Each structure stands twice: as structure tokens, then as C-alpha cells.
Structure 1
């Protein structure tokens, strides 16, 4: 019991860290894009300054100027914005390892989709993240990257293909989360391999008394713009595990792809507004239309498949299993079912179904943590799960493991 609780607290701590660092990264990213788009030119700007902006916050005024390439001289004090991105990706990958790689049988693998071993599933995950960055980077550096609109369409196609591909090998929850991790890896690698190195080259040129090449700034700006448009879809995908209507339906991969389009329309509204281009209200209409399509797609349930044989093992062989089965079926299965009986539930919470022996065994760890050693389930104990029944669940799992 101690080990299971410690592991759960470890994942909670990493999730907390990931959220905090993610807020810091997203906040700075949104701020600088808005700042960049809001720059204004005036007649008396110093040489090399593309624009300036006055801002008021916290009881004071800020006067900001942007040099398109670099200032004439290296400033004494320079702030680098990089650790937010690095910390977000590192904490996210650590959480991926703790929850999905070590919990692959629970969160990543569905034998009805692809009968993988935990090692195979983890290897596919790592390889896809690395190959995704390499493919994206090559596309940006190829002749295709010279046309921003064409490049964005190609990148959307890549993301749609990856969305479909993940859905063919992982559980729905893991598929959408991996698409988010795939995109976040590209974003963090943009910072680590393009934006920051290019800025370092500019600084090195200034220190050497040389004029930095304009290409470094252009490349960094392109990648920063990509990161800006990808942020909102990544947030959706990171939170999708809480909403079965997003990840546990027949067209979950289409839903994920459409989320990227809605992220683009929302960001386009704000980016245009910050740039002084007015309020493009049609973008909200487009976003609403995309959302309605997503809602419609979520109504398609996965086709029923032949039920896999219940996994043999200590949990199934336990003398407590029959009693645990009765408890789960009477206290949990009215909600955790293909057709929930509880009013207001369209699908089983988090896509977890507990109607068969195979279901119970597949989700044994979650049942143990949620209903055995804690009172998280049922919510508000609405089905009156008795203390002795919780003790039975805990004894069954601890004996079997």
C-alpha cells in the first residue's frame, strides 16, 4: 500500500510542477507575441529599433523598444527566457514516464487496439517524440518552409496523421495525450535548438564587434510564431484525459485534429487584435462551428469488439475476487458502463468501464487507489460504499500484487 500511495503522490507532485512551469512558459510566450505584434513606429526611434511600446502595470509605466537584429552594443544585463520551456518539457516527460511508461498496462495499452508489451509501447512513445521533432525541423529548413501558409498546412497534415497513428496503437486517453506531448516536444525543441542558439549567435557576434546575420532573428521569429499557434491545442490535449467524450469515442483522432484548427482561429483573433488589425469576429464563428462538429463527432461510440479473455493472475485467482466483483458491479458499474444509468452521464467517467471481470482486472490499480485506500470514488459516496467493502478491495489488490 505504501509503495502505491508513494507512486501516486509522485505523479501528483510532477503534475503540479508541470502545471506551474507550463503557466510560466505560456504566460511569457503569450506576452512576447502580444508585445511583438503591438510595437509601434515613431520618427525618433534609435537606429535599428523596429518599434516601441508603452505599457502600464503594477502602478508604473514601462517603455519597451525592440531591435530587429541586435543593439549596437551588448547590454550589461540580459534576461534569457528559456528555463520556462525546458522545465515544462522535462517535468512533462517525467510525468509521462511515471504515469504512462510505468503504468503502461493501465494507461497506454489496450489489447483490443494493439497487443503491445509495456516496453514496446514506451519505445513507440519515445521514438515518435524524437522523430516528430526531426521531421518538423527538416520541413522548416526545407524550401517548403519559405512559404509560411504552405508550411502551416503541411504541419497540420502531419499532426492529423500522427493523431490517427497514435489512435491505432494506444488507448484513447494515451493517444490524445501523446499528440499533445508530440507537439510540446516540437515547441520545447524550437526553444532549445533554434531560438536560444540563434540568440547566442547574435550575442557572440556583438561581442566580436560584428553585425549579426538577420537570418538568425527570422528563424527564431518563425519558430516562436509556431509555438504561439500550437499552445492552445496542447493545453486541450493535456486536459483531454478528464473528458471521455474527447478521447473515448470512435473519432477521437479527428476531434484532436480539429482542435488544432480551433486553436489557430482563436490565436488569429488575438494576434490580429494585438497587431492593430481590428477584431476578426468571424474567427469566433469558425471556432464555434468547429466545436459543434467536435460535439457531433463525440456522439459516435466505438464499435463493439469481441471481449478479450480475462487476464489470468493472482488478482483473478484471489479468494477475494468474487466479493470485489460483487462490490464493483453493485457500487460502481451503474456509472462505469457502456451505457451509464446515472442521470446526466453520457459516457463512463474517464472512459473507465467496470462491467466485466476483464474490465475490473484492467483497472484494478485505479479501483484500489480510488475506492480502496481513498474515498475518491464513488463521488460523495453516493452509492454507499461501506468501509468493509473498501477494506476488501484493498486486501484483494495488496494480496494479488
Structure 2
């Protein structure tokens, strides 16, 4: 019979899988349409209101695509909308935020050495910051709607740098970078929900009513789509950053996150220039490489040789430390896992603990009870290849320990 830990893990798996699938669909369509838009050409024989056309070949056939900058003279019978990919990506991403960081706030969201927060306070800061992101960005766009768009991106970059620093002052390093990704993704999805689709609906309504649509709606929507295009790659990096301690668990993590946004701009500038047939600015790859090397240097600039004093146990881990079998599990984990999961790993080739998980002390083991259970009890994922020869009886001891803590929690 599945216990709550395994069941919860499968809920997270379903949410994560949904998030990845919908994100692929959204990013794919976004990249495609930006490339298509940049590659449009004027040609003889195009309809009077057409802005440009492009011929493409794919899947054994040819496609002839024509774009109307404002709108055609009549509404076509079959009109495909591209919006659900964005909505589903944000909703599934927020579900992941709730499942992992809100429900597991004491482990993943809150770091007492950064800021002492109650769970409700941390969650409130998280939600409020996402709302602030949209309000700040939308205000910038409205103020500078007719200005050079480079100015808009510079203003947005300043906001992003500020938020990168802010998040690292209130949340754990892992949660800080993940939240910066969610902050940016919320802006992107809100662009679709609040601006792009409503503007397109106004144009469609004008066509149905026989009115000539105002060109400003298309101009604004194009602006927001372009912003989304440049923000996509940094968001992907930040969403994956929680797997790499050298990114999130370093002193300069907020600077690293800020530089990632610049890398996203240089990479997209290269591809967008190629799609627009404006040449191949290979210098952007040199700049990207320099930024990446700078990030790598920053990640190890202040490696501490001495472990920090261990913090007291969080409330969520106290019942694991008090559960029956904890002393046996401590012995097992220290014997089978801590040669790698240590401040200074002794396993050859390892220079830091995998995923930043240290399992040397009783407190650290209690704090990571759920991970230990899933990786070495409910499954045989750890130790990898069973290199430290963890016995079946030892794995069962881990299972019994967590089940005992679970039973004690339900009794209490």
C-alpha cells in the first residue's frame, strides 16, 4: 500500500511532467513565430493588406505563409489561437511551486540563516512578489511604449537584478533562483493573458463588426511577444538551477542569476539576427562564453573551507529525529552515504556534495528524511550503483523509521 510520501511524490511527478510538456509546446510555438515574423518578405502578387510572406518546407510538403500586419479585410472561418500553451505552463508551474516550495516550505523555501520566517510569511512574500513583477513590468511597458525598446529592456533588467538580490535575502538559495524564474515566467504568461490575447480579441471584434482595426493593438502585442522571446532562455536556466548547487548555493548566486539574463539576450540576438537575414553576429557567442566563464568563476570565488555551525532543527524535521529507529538510520546513512554527502567528500572525483545535500550529522539527516526515504528506502536510486553496498535490511530500516515518524505524526 502506498504511503503518503510515495503518493505525494507521484503527484509532484505528474505536475512536473505536465509543466515540461506544456512549456515545450509554448516555447516551441513562441520561437517559431518570432523566427517566422523576422523572416517575412515582401513579394509581388501579395494581397493588398499583406505585410509579408514566407515559403517553408517541412514534413514532405511546402507551406506558403502570409502575414497581415493589422488584419485581413475579413475574418477567416478557421482561426487558430495560441494561448493555452502559455496558460497551462504557468498553472502547472504554480502547482509545482505549491507542491514543492509551499507545502515543503521548511525544507526548500525557508532558510533560517538567511531570514527567520513562518511558513505563511514566506508564502505571502512569494505570492506578493509574483504579482509585483507583473505590475512593475507592465508599468515600464506603458511608460516607454513609444520609446526605444532597448530602454524598456534595460529598465526590466534593473528590476530583475533587484529581484535577484531581494530573493536571496529572504529565501534559501535554491528557492531564490527558482522564484526569479517564476517571477519572469509570470510576466511572460501575463503578457499573453493580459495583453496579447485581449488585443487580438479587440481586432477580431472589429473585423466582425465591419470596423477597421487600430494598428496599435498589434504593435503592443508584438512588443510583448518580443520580450517573451528574450526572457525564455533565462527562465529555463533558472528553473533547472535547483539541480546545481554551484549555481544556487553560492555567495554570488544573485549576480549569477543576473548574468544569466544577459546570456539569454546574446544567444537570442544571434538567432533573431539570422532569422531576419541581418547577418550572423558570431561575436554574441564570444560574449556568451565570457559570461559563462565569469559565472563559473563566481560560483567558486568564496568557497568556505570550514562548515558553518549547524542550525537547530526545523519543526518539520523534529518528529523524524524523535522517531523510533532514528539512531540506526543515522549509523546507516553515515556509513553508506556521508563519504559523498559531506562538506568535504572523500569519494575520489567528488569536490562537493551531490545536489548540495550534506548528511554528516543527525540534524542534517533528520532535515533530509524525505529525500533519504525516497532515494534509498522506497527506491534503490542511492547509493548510485549501490557502490557502498547498502543492504536490503538497511533500506528497510529507513522505511520503518519514516513510517514510524509518520504514524507518530498522525497520532499527535
- Give the match for residue 97 of structure 1: 98
- Give the match for residue 283 of structure 1: 284
Relative distance call for 1:10 and 1:141 in structure 2 (3 A) is same
- Give the match for residue 335 of structure 2: 330
- Give the match for residue 175 of structure 1: 176
- Give the match for residue 116 of structure 1: 117
- Could you tell me which runs of 5 or more consecutive residues in structure 2 were left unpaired when the two chains were aligned: 407-412
CA separation in 2, counterparts of 1:381 and 1:218?
58
Contact kept in structure 2, 1:245 and 1:347, CA below 8 Å: no
* Residue 380 of structure 2 is aligned to residue 361 of structure 1: no
Cα shift at 1:232: 0.5
CA separation in 2, counterparts of 1:354 and 1:145?
55
CA separation in 2, counterparts of 1:254 and 1:226?
21
TM-align CA RMSD: 1.4
Contact kept in structure 2, 1:14 and 1:91, CA below 8 Å: yes
Matched position secondary structure for 2:210: coil
| Mapping 1:2-401, distance limit 5 Å | 2-143=3-144, 146-301=147-302, 305-311=308-314, 313-401=318-406
Matched position secondary structure for 2:278: coil
CA separation in 2, counterparts of 1:89 and 1:302?
35
Contact kept in structure 1, 2:144 and 2:152, CA below 8 Å: no
1:347-379 CA distance string (max 9 Å, x none): 211111112222112111111111122111111
CA separation in 2, counterparts of 1:387 and 1:106?
28
Contact kept in structure 1, 2:40 and 2:53, CA below 8 Å: yes
Contact kept in structure 2, 1:176 and 1:247, CA below 8 Å: yes
Cα shift at 1:301: 4.5
Cα shift at 1:330: 1.4
Question: More deviation in 135-144 or 254-263?
Answer: 135-144
CA separation in 2, counterparts of 1:17 and 1:41?
40
Cα shift at 1:255: 0.9
Question: More deviation in 184-193 or 111-120?
Answer: 111-120
Contact kept in structure 2, 1:112 and 1:305, CA below 8 Å: no
CA separation in 2, counterparts of 1:377 and 1:168?
33
Cα shift at 1:45: 2.1
- Could you tell me which runs of 5 or more consecutive residues in structure 1 were left unpaired when the two chains were aligned: none
Contact kept in structure 1, 2:320 and 2:402, CA below 8 Å: yes
CA separation in 2, counterparts of 1:173 and 1:397?
25
CA separation in 2, counterparts of 1:244 and 1:342?
18
1:67-122 CA distance string (max 9 Å, x none): 10000111111000000100111111111111111111121111111222222211
Question: More deviation in 23-32 or 309-318?
Answer: 309-318
Aligned residues: 401
Contact kept in structure 2, 1:266 and 1:283, CA below 8 Å: yes
CA separation in 2, counterparts of 1:112 and 1:302?
17
Q: After TM superposition, which residue ranges in structure 1, 4 or more long, deviate above 6 angstroms?
A: none
CA separation in 2, counterparts of 1:349 and 1:167?
21
Cα shift at 1:145: 6.3
1:102-143 CA distance string (max 9 Å, x none): 111121111111222222211111111111111111111014
Cα shift at 1:319: 4.0
CA separation in 2, counterparts of 1:368 and 1:398?
10
Contact kept in structure 1, 2:206 and 2:213, CA below 8 Å: yes
Contact kept in structure 2, 1:333 and 1:354, CA below 8 Å: yes
- Give the match for residue 409 of structure 2: none
1:216-252 CA distance string (max 9 Å, x none): 0010000000000000111111111111111111111
Contact kept in structure 1, 2:324 and 2:405, CA below 8 Å: no
Cα shift at 1:147: 2.3
Cα shift at 1:146: 2.3
1:23-43 CA distance string (max 9 Å, x none): 000000000000000001123
